[in-house]
């Protein structure tokens, strides 16, 4: 599945032809540089590696510097491999947001915002235990019973409990393309995408 690497700029809203206000996410999609073209003969599989987002040369290690110099480009921050790439590309080519001009729906992957350690009500949507009054004391947002007593005398694996929330790879499937602004490398999709502003996104056709 081919695609492009982007960066989340923020959210806005646009009006459609019927006058409805549509909430949109603004994404800076590309331009990406082709830093490697993998073949079955040499690498065992076919893929196209794209790079996006400039970084300082002093922040890049020597093996990666050599990798970027081979593609005749400056050091990049984000690398990603796309399989079954639709376009015919070669090393050093630029892939722009114009490749998405015929697409109506896109799958977008990002790392969700990290929420830290959270309880079961926020993390799993538990209702809480009992009432908030009638002598109830500090059990409102508690998980309740987490296991049986005499048998099996243990807590089962996968029990939904409090813990770290967010900071995971999340894919939003079939997001509608609202607008494409090629001159500014901008892409507007309907609804929200994972991650904070400035985070990198993988946009797949």
Number of other residues whose CB lies within 10 A of the CB of residue 48: 26
Buried b (16+ CB within 10 A) or exposed e, 113-142: eeeeeebbeebeebeeeeeeeeeeeeeeee
Question: Do 100 and 121 have their domain in common?
Answer: no
Its domain, for residue 137, covers 115-145+157-165
- For the stretch 78-123, pLDDT in tens is 999 988 887 788 888 888 888 888 888 999 999 999 999 999 999 9
Q: Is 141 domain-assigned?
A: yes
Cα separations (Å) of 179 from 124, 162, 173, 174, 189? 35, 40, 18, 15, 7
Q: Per-residue pLDDT averaged across 134-138, rounded?
A: 80
Question: Do 33 and 11 have their domain in common?
Answer: yes
How many domains does the chain divide into?
2
Residues paired with residue 29 on neighbouring β-strands, in sequence order: 6
Number of other residues whose CB lies within 10 A of the CB of residue 180: 16
Question: Do 105 and 79 have their domain in common?
Answer: yes
Question: Do 7 and 100 have their domain in common?
Answer: yes
> Tokens for 168?
């995971």
Q: What's the rounded Cα separation, in Å, for the pair 193 and 205?
A: 15
Residue 189, pLDDT > 90, answer yes
Name the pTM for this structure. Answer: 0.83
- % residues pLDDT > 70 (the chain): 100
Residue 1, pLDDT > 70, answer no
């Amino acid at each position: 599945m081919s695609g492009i690497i982007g960066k989340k700029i923020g959210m806005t809203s646009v009006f459609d032809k019927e006058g409805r206000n549509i909430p949109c996410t603004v994404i800076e999609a590309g331009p990406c540089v082709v830093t490697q073209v993998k073949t079955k003969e040499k690498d065992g599989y076919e893929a196209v590696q794209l790079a996006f987002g400039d970084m300082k040369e002093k922040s890049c290690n020597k093996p990666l510097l050599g990798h970027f110099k081979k593609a005749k480009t400056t050091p990049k921050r984000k690398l990603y491999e796309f399989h079954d790439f639709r376009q015919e590309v070669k090393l050093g080519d630029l892939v722009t947001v114009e490749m998405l001009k015929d697409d109506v729906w896109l799958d977008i992957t990002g790392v969700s915002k990290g929420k830290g350690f959270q309880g079961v009500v926020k993390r799993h949507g538990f209702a809480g235990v009992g009432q908030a009054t009638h002598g109830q004391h500090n059990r409102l947002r508690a998980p309740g019973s987490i296991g049986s007593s005499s048998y099996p005398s243990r807590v089962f694996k996968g029990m939904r409990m409090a813990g770290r929330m967010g900071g995971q790879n999340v894919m939003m499937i079939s997001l509608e393309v609202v607008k494409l602004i090629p001159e500014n490398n901008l892409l507007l999709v309907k609804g929200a995408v994972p991650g904070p502003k400035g985070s990198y996104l993988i946009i797949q056709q």
